[in-house]
Amino acid sequence: MTPQRRRTFDRKAGSFRSAAMGLGVAIAAVVALNGAKAEPMHGIAMHGEPAYPADFTHFSYVNPDAPKGGAITVATLGSFDSLNPFIVKGTAPIALRVNNYVFERLLARSFDEPFALYGLLAESVETPEDRSFVRFTLRPEAKFSDGQPVTVDDVIFSLETLRAEGRPNYRSSYAKVARIEREGERTVVFHFDDSGDREIPLIMGLMPILPKHIYGDGRITEASLDVPIGSGPYLVDSVDPGASVTFKLDDDYWGKDLAVNRGHYNFETLKIEYYRDNNTMFEAFKKGLYQFHNEGDPTRWSTGYDFPAANDGRVVKETFKTGLPKGMGALVFNTRRPVFSDIRVRQALIRLFDFEWINKNLYYSLFARTQSYFHGSSLSSHGVPANELERQMLGDTIDDLPEDIVDGSFALPKTDGSGRNRRALRAALALFEEAGYTLQDGKLVKSETGDPFTFEILVSSRDQERLALSYSKSLERAGIDVSIRLVDAAQYQQRRQTYDYDMIENRWYLSLSPGNEQNFYWGSDAAATDGTRNYMGVSDPVIDRLIEAMVAARSREELEAATRALDRKLMAGAYLIPLFHTPEQWVARWTTVSRPDKASLYGTFMETWWSSDAE
């Protein structure tokens, strides 16, 4: 960083050297700057300018001439008991929560940029340099599947309803809208509070738009299997509660010719089937009951594709490189529980996880160990010493971090893979002793009371159970009696949403442009709110302020520094036992479906595929 650039950042950020005040000053300074005049744009990027020009015709990772028609069935684990994806009550199909199938957004995401959005329901977006407001102008042709136009009233209704009644992530983000302004028949302006959240204009662009004339009667607040009405390319055609949901392409879909949609949504019929466990699901794939399988099991990837359809070429295996962080898959400590409240206990349990033995004996040594929350990207602190900007952001709290975390040399404990690593066991028992536990008659007990150290690992699949059982063997050698409870998907989801567990396995999928969702993952407010993804219960004001700095970052340099600082704090907190990741995206497909030649930065995904029969 040049001296002039450093002075500019210091002037915006204030001290940053005081953990109690610095980041708050930075956020206030960002908001205090008056931005330049807003101009209507066809898209918006989190940092810099959108990569595609206003007259682009399609994204680079699609086949713009993909034929329409045919059918595809895909599979997922779990269950559902509602078609309302916006509230905590009940469990809805993830396709209704995440995709634009039924409920569209004002803007659509490009998947070959870190975070850029282009007009969907909105034909233009405007925001000033300080991002204190955002203006959306709706497309006049946008309409819901019942033929009613998408209006400013629908946009305002969606915000007010989701902010008051929606899932915690909606309530948290949309609370930053301080005022709504209507400008004419097709334009709405959201004015934001003084939090300095530079991501919030993009978050508003991704807000699902609900038809007020359908949901204005209050039904949106209830779990229901009523067929949802939205503006998207698909209609819900049929539902088998808990088992499957089938979507049918809307022949009268208003947005079929938009550049952001070209090459997408090619199947006439899309069916999503739910399975209780991975093995049953894969057996269904082998029989052709679904056609697209994202593989995460290296054992199966190595040996499981020896079946007739794979041998004669009707099923093909493919790998795709991505530019994404590998995500954090982990065994998660629920620090709300007293058993995991002491960091030394958590550090000891991390040492007892024998990755090398598990990887060799369970996974054919095909996994790589995850060493960072943002492993494999420029956002990771692993192998990277803290630079001056990070040190400013961490302030005096940097002195509380282990030196190997600060200088980037930290690595998770490595064993000899024998399954009997005495060195790791001695180190773990020493930490337990510091925390007030001793080994008596082969059992780890509380020194003062003699109560045994024990906890439960909650799992929802045989794969999770197998991993937990393997880990439990190492725990037994330390005198720890761990119980493993396998529950069905619905019960698991309910207990996970209310944090009713000691330890679970979870994976967070992290992007190249992290922002507001980080509050939902690791923020203090999320720790005390049911239905968030702060499963470990971390509550740390420094982490909160680093997330604020990420959201307020004006450049990629500032975002990367804030994210690496957050990564160091999370790794130092020992809130989970990092597991492993696949080095590439592994996909198997039946040749009855085809895909584009080029994958996106995020990998390949089914929305851009098409039926081979339609070619």
Residue 282, domain member (yes or no): no
- Domain ranges, residue 267: 38-271
State residue 37's pLDDT score.
Answer: 66
Looking at per-residue confidence, does 125 or 584 come out higher? 125
Measure the CA–CA gap between 587 and 583, rounded to whole angstroms.
13
Q: Reduced to 3 states, what is the DSSP secondary structure of residue 418?
A: coil
* Final residue belonging to a domain, choices 251, 271, 291: 271
28, pLDDT greater than 90: no
pLDDT (average), residues 426-448: 97
pLDDT (average), residues 391-402: 96
Residues 265 and 341 grouped into a single domain: no
Residues 498 and 405 grouped into a single domain: yes
The CATH number for 460's domain is 3.10.105.10
Residues 66 and 183 grouped into a single domain: yes
Average pLDDT, the chain: 91
> Which of 42-46, 294-298, 465-469, 609-613 is the least confident region?
294-298
Residue 154, domain member (yes or no): yes
36, pLDDT greater than 50: no
3-state secondary structure 22-36: HHHHHHHHHHHCCCC
Supply φ then ψ for residue 490, to 5 degrees. -65, -45
Tokens 């978050």 correspond to: 203
Residues 204 and 132 grouped into a single domain: yes
Band of the pLDDT at 1, cuts 50, 70, 90? Answer: very low
Residues 419 and 560 grouped into a single domain: yes
Residue 366, domain member (yes or no): yes
Residue 613, domain member (yes or no): no
Looking at per-residue confidence, does 21 or 207 come out higher? 207
What's the structural domain count of the chain?
2
Residues 160 and 242 grouped into a single domain: yes
Band of the pLDDT at 25, cuts 50, 70, 90? Answer: very low
Residue 476, domain member (yes or no): yes
* Final residue belonging to a domain, choices 206, 240, 271: 271
What contacts 497, CB < 8 A, 6 or more positions away? 88, 530, 531
Residue 604, domain member (yes or no): no
The CATH number for 67's domain is 3.40.190.10
Share of the chain above pLDDT 70, in %: 94
Residues 385 and 484 grouped into a single domain: yes
Residues 265 and 397 grouped into a single domain: no
What contacts 235, CB < 8 A, 6 or more positions away? 102, 145, 227, 247, 248, 249, 250
State the pTM of this model: 0.74
Band of the pLDDT at 299, cuts 50, 70, 90? Answer: confident
Residues 200 and 346 grouped into a single domain: no
State residue 22's pLDDT score.
Answer: 41
Residues 265 and 335 grouped into a single domain: no
Band of the pLDDT at 27, cuts 50, 70, 90? Answer: very low
Residues 337 and 218 grouped into a single domain: no
The model's pLDDT over 327-351, given as tens digits with 9 standing for 90+, comes to 999 999 999 999 999 999 999 999 9
493, pLDDT greater than 50: yes
* Final residue belonging to a domain, choices 247, 271, 295: 271
Residue 278, domain member (yes or no): no
> Which of 60-74, 82-96, 597-611 is the least confident region?
82-96
Residues 264 and 394 grouped into a single domain: no
Measure the CA–CA gap between 89 and 92, rounded to whole angstroms.
9
3-state secondary structure 542-581: HHHHHHHHHHHCCCHHHHHHHHHHHHHHHHHHCCEEECEE
The model's pLDDT over 534-578, given as tens digits with 9 standing for 90+, comes to 999 999 999 999 999 998 888 889 999 999 999 999 999 999 999
Residue 491, domain member (yes or no): yes
